[in-house]
Amino acid sequence: MVAYFSEIYYGLISLLEGMVITFKEFFKPTVTVSYPYETLPMCDRFRGHVELIENEEGQPNCVVCGLCERACPSGCISLAGEKAEGEKKKVLTKYVLDFTRCSLCGSCVEACNFNALTFSKEYNLASRRKEDFIFDLLGRLEERNR
């Protein structure tokens, strides 16, 4: 008999405790970000698609060694370069990333010895067309510098 009433009593108390918690939460400020109108900066270790790093003159650091192309397990990267007359180093002429196949493993960034590749912070990448996911990274670099 005592157990019956104490169960009712303590059950009621625990219910009221729960309601006090939600009552307090009701008056606290919201913690969410209203996304399309506000965005948060992406964290340092966020992996977007890869991006070329530029030097002080605005040219890519890339020396067209092709290590990233070989490191990529899905074959997303295709790049080309040419050696101009009288120059020592090769110059990048084409760097295309096929993002439809990329799994963001980061092997290309790891493989690069010349600090030429990094992860971008891009995440608004929705599209209806497949072609939108084939990125011309050199073009993006030029666009950034314009």
Partner 1 sequence: MRLTLFNVVVAVIIAIAFAAVNAAYLVWAERRGAARIQRRPGPNINGPFGLLQPPLDGIKLMAKQLTIPGGADKILFIAAPVLAMFPAIMSFVTIPFSENIVAKNMNVGVLMIFAFAALGSTSLLFAGWSSRNKYAMMASIRAVSQTVAYEIPMLITTITVVMIAGSMDLMEIVHQQSGSILSWNIFPLFGRSHNILMPMSFLIFFTCTLAETNRAPFDLGEAESELVAGFHTEYGSMGFGLFFMGEYANIVIGSCMTTILFLGGWGCPFGLFPGVWWFIIKLYLLIATFIWIRWTFPRTTIYGLLNLSWKILIPLSLFNLLFTAGLLKVF
By CB under 8 A, name the binding residues for partner 1: 8, 12, 15, 18-19, 21-23, 25-32, 34
Q: Are 72 and 37 contacting, i.e. CB atoms less than 8 angstroms apart?
A: no
Residue closer to partner 1, measured from CB, 26 or 85: 26
* Residues 6+ away with beta carbon under 8 Å from 64: 79, 80, 81, 90, 91, 92
Residue closer to partner 1, measured from CB, 15 or 125: 15
Residue closer to partner 1, measured from CB, 9 or 46: 9
Q: Are 143 and 86 contacting, i.e. CB atoms less than 8 angstroms apart?
A: no
* Residues 6+ away with beta carbon under 8 Å from 58: 145
Min dist. Cβ of residue 1 to partner 1 (A): 12
Structure tokens at 80: 């080309």
Cα dihedral sign, 113-115-116-117: positive
Min dist. Cβ of residue 121 to partner 1 (A): 24
Residue closer to partner 1, measured from CB, 14 or 55: 14
Min dist. Cβ of residue 18 to partner 1 (A): 5
Min dist. Cβ of residue 11 to partner 1 (A): 9
